Every structure is written in structure tokens, then in C-alpha cells.
Amino acid sequence: MSNIEIIQELYRSFREKDYDAFLQVCTSDLQWIQNEGCPCGATHQDPEAVVDQVFKAFNDD
């Protein structure tokens, strides 16, 4: 998969809430920095934490 295809897949997975696809594209050492002041603002370690603490948290709001 090319870099462009990876980015396209990430955006598709965000848009469609396809968390399994997001987990497949990301590496286990992912660090997701959500700016302080934004909802869920913090540094999240690993893809599963991003899904649970960022994406699913936004769904609840």
C-alpha cells in the first residue's frame, strides 16, 4: 500500500467509523496527540486507545 493509499484509507475509516480498518493501518506504537483544549485532548498511546478514548468518545458526544 502506498503512502497516499494509507492516508486515503485512514480518512475513509474515520468517515465511516470503520475502527477495524483503522487498527489494521496503524502500527502498535502509534502516539496520537489530540491538542489540549480540544475534546479528549491528551496524548493517546496505541491504536486501541485512540479508538476508545478519541473516536468512540466523540460518538458519545
Question: Tens of pLDDT along 13-57?
Answer: 988 999 999 999 999 999 999 888 877 789 999 999 999 988 888
Q: Is the pLDDT of residue 61 over 70?
A: no
Specify the pLDDT at position 33: 92
Longest Cα pair distance anywhere in the chain, in angstroms?
34
Number of domains in the chain: 1
Q: Distance between CA 54 and CA 9 in Å, rounded?
A: 18
- Cα 15 versus chain centre, distance: 11
For residue 12, count other CB atoms closer than 10 A to its CB: 13
Question: Of 22, 14, 17, 10, nearest to 46 (Cα)?
Answer: 22
Domain that holds residue 31: 3-60
Q: What is the CATH number of the domain that holds 11?
A: 3.10.450.50
Task: Give 58's pLDDT tier (boundaries 50, 70, 90).
Answer: confident
